[in-house]
Structure 1
Amino acid sequence: MTMGATPAVAPDANARAGSGGRKNFKWTPERLEFLRAEWLANTSPLAIGQLLGITKSAVSAKANVLGLPDRRTDPEVRARMSEARKKAWADPEVRARMSEARKKAWADPEVRARMSEARKKAWADPEVRARKSRSWARKAVRTAGLPMLKQHVDRAIALRAQGHDMETCVDALLRDQSAAAA
């Protein structure tokens, strides 16, 4: 089935009639087959949702439950998404709108509290903490202008674990490099 064609499956008549309508949507075998076919044909979740009369989130959630391939890991799809984002971000109006939306969201104390809680929860995961520490350490090594050697990154991670900020870490890396050269 191509984009814009009428689905062989009728959309739920109540699906867009407010939140109650979406709750009444039933995944019939025909609708599931339609979802599978469209998903594998790389039709966007938004387009599939519009054809079925449901949200793109409902489409993505059902595709996940059905075990359909995650398009975000498909290199071709990731490249298209990346190009689309770069193109959109190049537009100053888009950047201004996104910046304004972030500022507005961040001004809401409830949003700030949720974000803070999510960061704390993520930071409690040792894998996330290690990945963030490595990323921070690589940034410190780049800032110091040093080659990206394991010894430099490991030293920066150790300094971070001791509670040093970026500036102190960069200074220490540069002192270590000077001492090694002498």
Structure 2
Amino acid sequence: MTYFVNNVQENVYTLAYEGDLLISKTSQVDSYNAREEFEYENGYLKFRKKFYFDEGNYIPYITTQYTFEGGNISEALESFTYANKSPYSLHQAYTHDQKNNPFKNMNKYFNLIYFDQAIDGLNTNNLIGNEYYTVGELGAPINIVCEINYNSEDFPTMIKRRYAHSETPITITTIEYQ
């Protein structure tokens, strides 16, 4: 799959499947190569591993383990390992509404390539909040809330992500349906 911006090639993705399951995505941009691998349990994503390319080898640097409840991600534990830095982990807890996800009728494994901060194809419903903290560090968790406008069919048309203590948006996503 080739990605263009203003008719200029930005990225080339190579997707590998086993049946309906996306098992890897490799991207190539000029001299930068990256890879993601996906593992499943009972049809749900269990692990997502990210690699960077260095001196002819793919080096793992982020592994995310997911827990699902009711068709939605309820928790994620991301483990980071970078060269010359101490490894650390980030714990995230998620809450969802009971309305329609924009990717509801699409192949959920194909949607892994469209994993976005506001919407994704992994969840049955829409993210309305998440809390995260660095494992082993003191300090208050960070809370993000999503304010969502819906159409008459309960699909989101606008999602505004912001920190719980602020009205300033982190992102605003507008969705148009045809």
Q: TM-score scaled to structure 2, two decimals?
A: 0.18
Greater strand share, 1 or 2?
Answer: 2
The structure that has the greater radius of gyration is 1
Greater helix share, 1 or 2?
Answer: 1
Q: TM-score scaled to structure 1, two decimals?
A: 0.18
